[in-house]
Amino acid sequence: MAAQPQHLLAQPVEQIPTIGPKRAAALKTVNVRTLEDLLYYFPRRYLDRSLITKVDHLTAGIQVTVVGRVERYGIKHGRKNRFVLVVTDGTGYLSCIWFNRLSYWSKVFKEGEWLALSGKVTYFGGFQMTHPEFDRLGEEAEGEMVHTGKIIPMYPSSETLGKVGLDSRGFRRLFYNFFKEFRVNIEETLPDEVLKSYQLVSLPLSLTNIHFPSDQEVLDKARYRLKFEELFFLELLMAYRKHQNLTIPGIQFKNVGEYTQRLAESLPFELTNAQKKVLHEIRVDMRREKAMNRLLLGDVGSGKTVIALFVMLIAVDNNYQAALMAPTEILAEQHFLNIHQMLEQMGVHVVLLVGGQSRSERLQTLQDIEAGKADIIVGTHAVIQQTVNFSRLGLVCIDEQHRFGVLQRAELRQKGGNPDVLIMTATPIPRTLAMTVYGDLDVSVLDELPSGRRPIITTWRPEKARPKIYDFVKKRVDAGDQIYVVFPLVEESEKMDLKAATDSYEIMKKTVFSEYSLGLLHGRMKSEEKEAVMSEFKRGKIQILVSTTVIEVGVDVANASCMVVEHAERFGLTQLHQLRGRVGRGGKQSYCILVSYGRLSDDAKKRLDAMEATTDGFRIAEMDLKLRGPGEFFGTRQSGLPDLRLADVVKDFDILQKARNAAFELVENDPNMAFENHHALLNHFVRKYRDSYNLAGVG
């Protein structure tokens, strides 16, 4: 094939020789649609078959490659029929055995031809290999080896791919023929100065060596370069989005007025130094003419909600509306209940907008929003629906941002005239990673808990310890403390989980805790019912609150000093940390008791061990990242970011930092991304990351 210009890398796979329509259809099931997709279909692992050993140097139990001439072959009958092939390299004989497809193997080989065979050596009256990999070398011992005698790529496959011959062996032959027979003009995507500064090998060489490395050093350099490229383009997207954010005209919130002052005066505690610092950073942003795009990181109990209240009241003081968006109705309702109780007495009108409201209630809320009567709107994704029309939306607070996609944030932003955006996460993220993965946002960190708080003592106990646990709970209640007993509630088994929680509540109420005042709280209850139960608990009328994860965020009862988490093995690590954060909010020593049931998986044990080991949310986040991986942790599929094939933002953090520096420097020198001297870079960026690129102006 003649040299091809770069754009032909986008040609459909069915047009590539040796593939054809059946293979093309199978490849599309793994998102391989173009020649470029095929080149970037990387091996999942490698086998080192580079050690070629003479027969007289073989040792049983090792993996080796032997090059030998076929001496004889045939089917041997016995208790288990088998096909036996005998080869020699002049120093001895090696028998190769296959136990299936005997008639097929009888037609594959011929006497006198040379083979390269790789496998594990055994000894049974002579050296043997069972079901070895092999390459046919023809009439000479120095023939071409694709499957043996070198570092061998192992490709991800599937039943569909296997049916058209695209298992690992088929992929190796496909790529071998491709690189041997075709010349594809693969243009370099990275600037020369980046290649030189970071000592990276070229893209054509990297793609060749990732599929057919001659040795481990060559493979390592190819993988490093391709990881760098992935992370470079991710960070280029971030750098461009940050530049775009800086150009978006925004609202100048000039006043800190009556509502903000009244909130400051009404707080029964002093803000921490971290809270004061973060408020100053946000206040500086809000005074500017450019729209704010800020990420607020903080551990459980560090005071993010108070920050959000101040920021929303600054908007209200300047005659603008503020919206707070949470990913679930439960979280939205909890935020609404707390904000409503704190601000309604000031004359600030707070409304709730969620999917589960009655028609009349929803209609009234929509009218209040459109008429400007609603000052603060708390809701779920219902807030961004077409029927919602804001009067003067000036500020958007997004909670649990990693569970919202970029497109959803864009829709909310379009509801107002470029409102300021404050993104909060109740899930602590390792700071360095947050500043990299969310590199398009300014980052504020709440790294200080309110004074007087003691570390929560966390213990993990098996089900059989429940009598002792309940005795401990009774002692805490008798001492005047209040208790949470939490049951899991997951979507897949919601009805069963809810029944377990309600049944257990009834049993506890009638038996073990019959002399105490119990309350029940779960997500199926109406908003007014939940509010009534929480009000009773806050006033001390309820001593033991049996609850599902509805209390995960937004519940703040200083007298609650103990939490028992039932079936703790079913909770995620971050969720357990969130739940634990509901206690320890006063000056009392607080406790979190994790109760597990049955035999636990290794991951469940690691989660519970981590909870016992630390109360530091950022350390918990690092452990959670290692357990779950960055894709699930950051919600990459929803975030609008490109998928990563090779790189891992946790394991490859050193590479990521270098790629980030290179990308941000490039955009700093060329903020409009004209890239006059880097056409291949721009073409690759726009073509490969088009969806993310189109969303680049979103905060």
Output the domain CATH number for residue 370: 3.40.50.300
Whether residue 64 is contained in a domain is answered as yes
Give the model's pLDDT for residue 328. 75
| 352 and 382 both lie in a single domain | yes
Residue 63 lies in a domain: yes
One domain for residues 439 and 505: no
Whether residue 523 sits in one domain with residue 434: no
Please tell me the predicted confidence (pLDDT) of residue 409. 58
Q: What is the mean pLDDT of each run of 10 residues along the chain (699 residues)?
A: 50 84 92 89 81 89 90 92 94 94 90 89 94 77 63 85 86 82 76 94 93 91 96 87 81 90 88 93 92 86 88 96 85 84 89 87 93 94 83 88 55 74 77 66 82 86 93 95 86 62 89 93 80 86 89 71 93 87 85 93 92 87 74 51 74 89 89 74 75 45
On the 0-12 / 13-18 / 19+ scale of CB atoms within 10 A, 3 is exposed
Q: For residue 194, is it within any domain? A: no
Q: What is the 3-state secondary structure (H, E, C) of 552-582?
A: CCCCCCCCEEEEEECCHHHCCHHHHHHHHCC
Same domain for 610 and 474: yes
Same domain, 530 and 415: no
Cβ-based burial of 32 (10 A; exposed 0-12, middle 13-18, buried ≥19): buried
- 440 and 476 inside one domain: no
How crowded is residue 599: how many other Cβ atoms within 10 Å of its Cβ?
7
Whether 681 maps to a domain, the answer reads no
Residues 452 and 409: their CA atoms lie apart, in Å, by: 37
Q: Which two tokens stand for residue 38?
A: 């095929």
CATH of the domain at 109: 2.40.50.140
Contact between 529 and 337 under an 8 Å Cβ cutoff? The reply is no
The residue whose two tokens read 């080991």 is 613
Nearest to 193 by CA among 644, 681, 685: 681
pLDDT value for 510:
92
| CB atoms near residue 101 (< 10 Å) | 10
Residues 414 and 467 in one domain: no
- Give the domain-ending residue among 596, 614, 632: 614
Domain boundary residue, one of 446, 472, 507: 446
Please identify which residue in the block is written with the tokens 């942790």. 633
Identify the domain containing residue 499 by its residue range. Answer: 457-614
Which of 113, 97, 126, 115 minimizes the C-alpha distance to 52? 115
Q: Which residues, including other chains, have CB under 8 Å from residue 36's CB and lie 6 or more apart? A: 9, 10, 688
Q: Is 504:535 a contact under the CB 8 Å cutoff?
A: no
DSSP strands (E only) in 303-415: 321-325, 350-353, 376-379, 393-399
Residues 493 and 607 in one domain: yes
Residue 410 in any domain: the answer is yes
* Residue 620 is assigned to a structural domain of this protein: no
Q: 92 and 114 share a domain?
A: yes
If phi > 0 it is left, if psi is from -120 to 50 it is alpha, else beta; for residue 101 that is left
Residue given tokens 């001659």 in the structure block: 214
Residue that terminates a domain, selected from 418, 446, 474 = 446
Residue 190 lies inside a defined structural domain of this protein: no
- Coarse DSSP helix, strand, coil percentages of the chain, rounded to the nearest 5 percent: 45, 20, 35
Q: Is 79 exposed, middle or buried (0-12, 13-18, 19+ CB in 10 A)?
A: exposed
494 and 522 fall within a common domain: yes
Q: How much is the pLDDT for 282?
A: 95
Total number of domains constituting the chain: 3
Rounded-to-integer distance, Cα 697 and Cα 413, Å: 11
Do 321 and 395 have their domain in common? Answer: yes
Task: Provide the angle, in degrees to the nearest 10, between the axes of the packed helices 258-266 and 304-317.
Answer: 150
- Note whether residue 694 is domain-resident: no
- In this structure, the answer to whether residues 431 and 489 fall within a common structural domain is no
Q: What is the 3-state secondary structure (H, E, C) of 75-110?
A: EECCCCCEEEEEEECCCCEEEEEECCCHHHHHCCCC
